[in-house]
A and B are shown apart, each in its own frame.
Chain A
Amino acid sequence: MEELSWHIMDIARNSLEAGATYLKIVVDEHTADNQLRFMVQDNGPGMPDYVQKRLLDPFFTTKTGKKVGLGLPLLQAAVERCGGSLEIWSRPGTGTRVTAVFPYFCWDRPPLGDIPRTLTGLLAGQESLHLYYRQTYDGREFIFDTAEVRAYLQGLPLVTPGVLVWLNQYLGEGINSLYGGGRNEIARRAG
């Protein structure tokens, strides 16, 4: 996967497929500690032990008709290339939490990528999803919570395309300001 935000999206999609209605996504960038950490947590059904044991097996899947397993083996490979770590915590009835840690300065580390598109993409068509996002960069913090957005929308669906397009820009500006306004990594491929 080209971007860490694709991995985030993939993990979050698995949560939604499993029936989660709440997603908490956190990205912490600490350049002084040479660390980038992200976490995706859900309130889904959680996974029984036998599934957890085989999560990193690329050919294991609980879904019929699907040709490859979860994207987690891909994330595991990305983490290993950089000497980072991956932790998966899950409890049936409580939810699942995936945490990945990468060295911030590592040639092999995929860029964080386009977080706004990842978040609005996850929200597309998911009117009942409560999404909480927090990102920090060297102590500065940006928080996005769909509960707050919905309060402003007063019943207009958040998934209205015009709303999601606006939110995409809002997220872009908010995240960009974490980096002092000038950001290189978010640069989008042309097209």
Chain B
Amino acid sequence: MKSLAELDKLREEIQREMALREKKEGIKVVVSMGTCGIAAGARDVIAVLLEEISRRNLQDVVLTQTGCAGLCHCEPLVQVEGPGGEKVTYGHVDEQKAREIVAAHLVNGQVIKEWTVKEEGERV
């Protein structure tokens, strides 16, 4: 079984990797965690995003959460904000879509248009 003492080793590993990588302009990923976001499965979306960001060692990505976005019927919502401030919002995100958003958008900079929603909540 894991013990917290193992965190020493993990910390050293992560710090070593961080020192090797050059820091690029940051990407912000925001998951809305209002009541309907949670009820629609946003928690598992966060879990998968964390796994993928960590597995791919994406050090320039910051994952945060926010409250209600007022778009109940499109939850779970994930907003990606690029280094230049450009924002893309994905709706109805599930675990599988979350993985693909990381691969396409965060790694390769390709927006997956079909899954984006407008602020009013319509599908684009």
Contacts and interface: CB of A to CB of B under 8 A. Distances in A.
Interface residues of A, number: 45
A68 B37 CA distance: 12
B33 A13 contact: yes
A17 B58 CA distance: 27
Interface stretch (A21-29, A42-50, A120-128): A120-128
Given A70-B35, A121-B43, A153-B7, A63 B50 contact: no
A143 B1 CA distance: 15
Contacts of A160: 14
A105 interface: no
B68 A1 contact: no
A162 B64 contact: no
Contacts of A169: 2
Contacts of B94: 191
A84 B110 CA distance: 49
Contacts of A68: 35-36, 72
Contacts of B62: 125
A6 B50 contact: no
A89 interface: no
Q: Categorize the interface residue count of chain B.
A: 35 or more
A182 interface: no
Interface residues of chain B: helix, strand, loop or mixed (majority): helix
Given A161-B63, A164-B50, A174 B1 contact: yes
A6 to B, nearest CB: 5
Contacts, number: 119
B65 A162 contact: no
A116 B71 CA distance: 27
Interface string B39-80: 100011011001101100010011111011010100000000
Contacts of A9: 33, 38, 43
Interface in B1-51: 1-2, 4-8, 10-11, 13-15, 31, 33-36, 38-39, 43-44, 46-47, 50-51
B108 interface: no
A71 B38 contact: yes
A118 B51 CA distance: 14
27 contacts: A13-B34, A13-B65, A17-B67, A63-B68, A67-B68, A71-B38, A117-B43, A118-B43, A121-B43, A121-B46, A125-B62, A125-B64, A149-B4, A152-B8, A156-B15, A161-B51, A161-B61, A162-B13, A163-B10, A165-B51, A166-B2, A166-B6, A166-B10, A170-B4, A174-B2, A191-B95, A191-B96
Interface of B: 1-2, 4-8, 10-11, 13-15, 31, 33-36, 38-39, 43-44, 46-47, 50-51, 53-54, 58, 61-65, 67-68, 70, 72, 94-96
